[in-house]
Amino acid sequence: MRTALPQAWIAVDKWQLVALANQIVTEVRQRVTRDQLGRRGTSRDPVWVNRRLLLTGAEHLSTKQWRRLTAMLDRADPTEEIGAACVKEHLRLLLAESEPSKIRWRLADFYDAALDAAMPETTRLPTTIQTWWPAILVALTEQIANARTGGFNRIIKQAKGVGCSYRNLDNYQRRILSQIAVTRPLRSAA
């Protein structure tokens, strides 16, 4: 990338980072359940039943859902590891900032929360953030996202799947362009 486009800014997609954080919450939930019960979670287990609440952004939870989540964590999380895995909320707060001084504070809060959690899963996330920090900072300060590219990539994959491996490259390109024309309305330049 750097040799082909040396002036290009590389930005990480915020959605991908939140998805990574949610995956960590899921891994901790599954590990704790296996350690406590010696098996996978089932519909009888409160942690498994409320797994979606663990992945939902804090600001999207109703008061009733908050009460249910905290009661479940008090009852079914004696090690407090599942609750500590919600380092993802600190990451989400960081990703919501665009002002450099606030970004620094949120980053420090995120690293503190990850250190306090002290689990293998939660130490992996800060390492990833540190590795990709220049691209994350570009995404935060410049409000750049690659969602449009991701959307086009999805359309291309769908066209390829429907076409069952095109043998003629021209037909494949036509199919992709026609799918983009159908799914993406033409926008005015203004």
Q: Which structural domain range is residue 89 located in?
A: 14-142
Residues 106, 174: one domain?
A: no
Residues 104, 157: one domain?
A: no
Residue 108 pLDDT greater than 70, yes or no: yes
Residues 170, 78: one domain?
A: no
Residues 122, 151: one domain?
A: no
Residues 86, 177: one domain?
A: no
Q: Tell which residue, 129, 133, 139, 48, has the closest CA to residue 88.
A: 129
Q: What is the pLDDT of residue 28?
A: 92
| Total count of domains within the chain | 2
Residue 189 pLDDT greater than 60, yes or no: no
Residues 78, 22: one domain?
A: yes
- Per-chain mean pLDDT for the chain: 87
Over range 18-26, report the average pLDDT. 93
Q: Is 178 a domain residue?
A: yes
Kindly report, residue by residue over 32-82, the tens digit of the pLDDT.
999 999 999 899 999 999 999 999 998 999 999 999 999 999 998 888 898
pLDDT category at 168 given cuts 50, 70, 90 is confident
pLDDT > 70: what percent of the chain?
A: 92
Q: Is 125 a domain residue?
A: yes
Residues 107, 179: one domain?
A: no
Q: What is the pLDDT of residue 55?
A: 92
Q: Is 174 a domain residue?
A: yes
Over range 140-162, report the average pLDDT. 78
